[in-house]
Structure 1
Amino acid sequence: MSEAALQTASSRNEDLKLILAAAVAAGDTALGYFRKSVDVRWKNEGRSPVSEADLAANDILKTRLLGARPDYGWLSEETDDDATRLARDTVFVVDPIDGTRAFISGKDLWCVSVAVVHQGRPTAGVLYAPALGEIFEATLDGEARKNGAAIAVRDPVPDERLQVAMAEDLVGKLAVPYRDRLARVPHVPSLAYRLAMIADGRIDGTIVKKNAHDWDLAAADLILARAGGALRGLDGMPLSYNRPIVSHGVLGAGSGLALPSLLAASRPFDAH
């Protein structure tokens, strides 16, 4: 498939089929390690765990996806970054297990995240949460779906407190007008899954601390957008992916009605 062909709806659908099958294969393999004794090592100066399940899932994704689309670039949390991706118009952006800490501790809230990004924009995305039996998917011009059924963000009721997922240490730093409007949702260990919860209407939004990465966000960003919500930087602009630096600043995500308040509430956290 040529790069130009990715611009057609039919080819985006073919990419979706490809990444969906690969995500399911990788997730089912990871599920075989779940709640068992697994080898774990630490990276990023001991701040981030990676398990043998992460690596096994990554191997499956890389083999299947690049085997089918050798002209696409590759960006994965569990693969050393290769700058040649920057010369590719289209890349796979992958997190083999988003929520590794949850996975290691036996909690269900982890998922496989796979996106196709074309010229900085996600065009197909899949999240597969095998321990929950949930698959979220979308293409740039299609509806967002969960287990095959269309999903949509929730429209907040006027004067109702917004159900917002955010770190506990941020609550006390909120300015009073926003603190009174936002109700904190208990910790969701997978950022990608947290965004999916907004997409299917379970929560209204999230505030994301700085240093989230492309692989945490790309697939869920597209799914949320196609469900009627948005993920934005504090400048209100959409994110661009497959840049030289793959981490992002403070972000807000929510429905169209909730998002302005979330972005305004998030601005004081940009310095933290």
Structure 2
Amino acid sequence: MPVSDARANLADMELIAQAARQGGATAMSYFRKDPHRWTKDNDSPVSEADLAVDRQLAEILQAARPDYGWLSEETADDSSRLNSARSFVVDPIDGTRGFLSGSPEWTVAIAVVEAGRPVAAALYQPVTDHLYTAAPGHGATCNGAPLRISDRASLNGASAAGPKAITSRDRLRDMGIRPAGYVPSLALRLAILAAGRIDLAVVRENACDWDLAASDLLVQEAGGRLEDLRGRPLSYNRGSVRHPALLGGPKALVDPLRPILAELM
């Protein structure tokens, strides 16, 4: 990687980390205060807090990098981002259901994507004050402490987080894989994976760029893999923002589980 690119990645990482903290503070001003909420066309919830954080992040980030594209869950996509070398990929509140229920398991997720891959990531969990960051070749951290994917080498005894309908299947149980619960924020589920607190993460099909881009880089920089059930890495900021079913974890677990999971999903 050219030095200039590495410097740009680190500068972008610092920018989005600061923005994530600011967005988190705004979200906290609504948290557990019964914000106005409604349901979007896809039956997912949204609140006035989501939109307030989205506006704030757009103002901060687009002012700092006016030539970058913009892709956010809460902003209408005009596809102009496809003409930009770099784009912000944003989920102002990932885990809105958790946020609205008063759970601490929600995050502000921001990535910078170039040529289809994240080159800077920031994920902030305001309730716990955990800030996860990553840049290619510089590792992944949480509040400055390095993250490392699980070093488990056997599926027997491995923990897997994801939808209960999948992680509790008899075939996985018979292999010794144990369910690790469900985290409302998909981005946070993958950050926990990057931190080595769980061994595997399963993701249903149709997750979107903003759910995945920041944590994808966290997982990769922590030494893990996040890929589809054919073993392909994800590509972002394309025409379609949706992805197939995914599996994340260390190579030693992902490789043997992937074909099995492909039969079950």
State TM-score, norm by structure 1.
0.93
Partner Cα distance (1:177, 1:105) in 2 = 30
Q: Residue type of the partner of 2:135?
A: T
Partner Cα distance (1:165, 1:255) in 2 = 14
Residue of structure 2 equivalent to 1:144? 140
Q: Residue type of the partner of 2:54?
A: N
SS in 1 for 2:259: helix
Partner Cα distance (1:107, 1:138) in 2 = 25
Partner Cα distance (1:172, 1:104) in 2 = 27
Residue of structure 2 equivalent to 1:117? 113
Partner Cα distance (1:207, 1:76) in 2 = 23
| Alignment of 1:75 onto 2:71 | yes
Identity among equivalent positions (%) equals: 43
Quote how far apart the aligned CAs of 1:158 are: 3.8
Residue of structure 2 equivalent to 1:23? 20
Quote how far apart the aligned CAs of 1:179 are: 4.0
**Aligned counterpart for 1:48 among listed residues 44, 51, 73:** 44
Uncovered stretches (5+) of structure 2, i.e. residues with no partner: none
SS in 2 for 1:257: helix
Residue of structure 1 equivalent to 2:209? 214
| Alignment of 1:200 onto 2:195 | yes
1:157–1:65 Cα change, 3 Å:
same
Q: Residue type of the partner of 2:82?
A: L
SS in 2 for 1:186: coil
Cα pair 2:160 2:177 within 8 Å, conserved: yes
Quote how far apart the aligned CAs of 1:160 are: 3.7
Residue of structure 2 equivalent to 1:35? 32
| Alignment of 1:232 onto 2:227 | yes
Partner Cα distance (2:117, 2:188) in 1 = 20
Partner Cα distance (2:17, 2:36) in 1 = 27
SS in 2 for 1:81: coil
Cα pair 1:162 1:182 within 8 Å, conserved: yes
Partner Cα distance (1:171, 1:13) in 2 = 36
Cα pair 1:207 1:262 within 8 Å, conserved: no
Q: Residue type of the partner of 2:148?
A: A
State TM-score, norm by structure 2.
0.95
Question: Aligned ranges for residues 46-195 of structure 1 at < 5 Å?
Answer: 47-158=43-154, 160-171=156-167, 173=169, 176=171, 179-195=174-190
Partner Cα distance (2:114, 2:122) in 1 = 15
Uncovered stretches (5+) of structure 1, i.e. residues with no partner: none
Partner Cα distance (2:87, 2:127) in 1 = 27
Matched residues, number: 265
Deviation string for 1:160-201 (max 9, x for gaps)?
411001211124656x36642311111111100000111111
Cα pair 2:156 2:175 within 8 Å, conserved: no
Quote how far apart the aligned CAs of 1:262 are: 3.1
Partner Cα distance (1:112, 1:105) in 2 = 16
Quote how far apart the aligned CAs of 1:205 are: 0.9
SS in 1 for 2:97: helix
CA RMSD, aligned part only? 1.8
| Alignment of 1:8 onto 2:16 | no
Partner Cα distance (2:172, 2:40) in 1 = 39
Deviation string for 1:14-70 (max 9, x for gaps)?
11111011110001110111111100011024x100111111110111001011111
Quote how far apart the aligned CAs of 1:261 are: 2.9
1:160–1:247 Cα change, 3 Å:
same
Quote how far apart the aligned CAs of 1:6 are: 9.4
Cα pair 2:31 2:102 within 8 Å, conserved: yes
Q: Residue type of the partner of 2:239?
A: P
Partner Cα distance (1:181, 1:76) in 2 = 39
Partner Cα distance (1:200, 1:16) in 2 = 18
Q: Residue type of the partner of 1:233?
A: D
